[in-house]
């Protein structure tokens, strides 16, 4: 199984605080078949004192519609709040993912949350934020994302596969598969996914 690693984090409050920012090593499982027999990495809880916001987008190429979701959990793995949204008007999945990321950032800013790990299957966009010169085609996207990231005091980015983001991905998928086009935000996790989120929480502390 082939893995990529990304390391990136940010401290927006003051350059002198950058020494307090501990980078995370981000492992991305690329071989979804897992034919090599290696263990697939599951959801991981944030470090003490931090929150983790998992972001997911499921895209329908035929209908040009994206289902988006984000879920915020604390360092004990407890879901604090989640949200779901349908995205229309995008030409492709990358555009929809950009809209989804900005929506999640705006939402958490409005909730006045900070010290957040943002985790999503957004290899190109997150990679461009960490190394903008290596991704010149995504300059505009980086500018847009950074405008929101700069408003957080402490933040980190984590590239995660669907396997590491199952609960959030299922919420996003429900927009496309079940036609759940009603946007909402709610505390806790959806009742119909209780077992999934509880299993992810328990497994993260057993690793």
Dump pLDDT digits (tens) for 130-168.
888 878 888 888 888 999 999 999 999 999 998 899 999
User: Confidence class of residue 127 from pLDDT cuts 50, 70 and 90?
Assistant: confident
* Cβ–Cβ < 8 Å for 121, 162: yes
CA angle 165, 170, 174 (to 5 degrees): 150
* Cβ–Cβ < 8 Å for 95, 185: no
User: Looking at residue 39, what is its pLDDT?
Assistant: 52
Q: Which of 206, 153, 199, 168 is nearest to 18 (CA)?
A: 153
**Cβ-count burial of 72 within 10 angstroms (0-12 exposed, 13-18 middle, 19+ buried)?**
buried
Distance (Å, rounded) from C-alpha 83 to C-alpha 104?
Answer: 9
* Cβ–Cβ < 8 Å for 109, 148: yes
- What sign has the CA pseudo-torsion 190, 196, 200, 201? positive
Distance (Å, rounded) from C-alpha 59 to C-alpha 102?
Answer: 16
User: Looking at residue 41, what is its pLDDT?
Assistant: 75
User: Looking at residue 31, what is its pLDDT?
Assistant: 35
- Give the pair of three-digit tokens for residue 101: 């990321």
* Cβ–Cβ < 8 Å for 154, 21: yes
pLDDT averaged over every residue in the chain: 83
Extents of the domains making up the chain = 48-202
66 pairs with which residues across the strands? 59, 87
Helix pair 123-130, 93-110: axis angle to 10 deg: 60
Architecture of the domain delimited by 48-202: 2-Layer Sandwich (3.30)
To the nearest whole percent, how much of the chain has pLDDT over 70?
Answer: 81
What is the C-alpha end-to-end distance of the chain, expressed in Å? 19
Distance (Å, rounded) from C-alpha 5 to C-alpha 11?
Answer: 20
Q: How many residues does the chain have?
A: 207
Mean pLDDT of 164-190: 95
pLDDT tens-digit map of 79-116? 999 999 999 989 999 999 999 999 999 999 999 999 99
Q: Which of 172, 141, 160, 162 is nearest to 59 (CA)?
A: 172
């Amino acid at each position: 199984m082939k893995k990529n690693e990304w390391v990136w984090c940010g401290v927006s409050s003051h350059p002198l605080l950058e020494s307090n920012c501990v980078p995370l090593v981000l492992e991305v499982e690329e071989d979804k078949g897992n034919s090599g027999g290696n263990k697939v990495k599951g959801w991981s809880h944030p470090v003490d004192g931090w929150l983790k916001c998992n972001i997911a987008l499921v895209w329908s190429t035929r209908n040009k519609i994206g289902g988006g979701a984000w879920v915020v959990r604390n360092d004990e793995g407890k879901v604090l709040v989640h949200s779901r949204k349908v995205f229309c008007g995008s030409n492709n999945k990358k555009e929809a993912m950009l809209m989804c990321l900005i929506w999640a950032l705006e939402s958490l800013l409005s909730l006045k949350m900070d010290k957040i790990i943002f985790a999503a299957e957004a290899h190109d966009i997150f990679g461009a934020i960490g190394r903008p010169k290596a991704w010149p085609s995504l300059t505009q996207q980086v500018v847009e994302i950074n405008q929101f990231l700069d408003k957080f005091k402490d933040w980190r980015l984590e590239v995660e596969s669907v396997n590491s983001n199952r609960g959030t991905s299922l919420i996003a998928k429900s927009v496309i598969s079940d036609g759940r086009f009603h946007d909402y935000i709610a505390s806790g996790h959806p009742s119909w996914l209780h077992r999934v989120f509880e299993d992810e929480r328990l497994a993260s502390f057993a690793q």
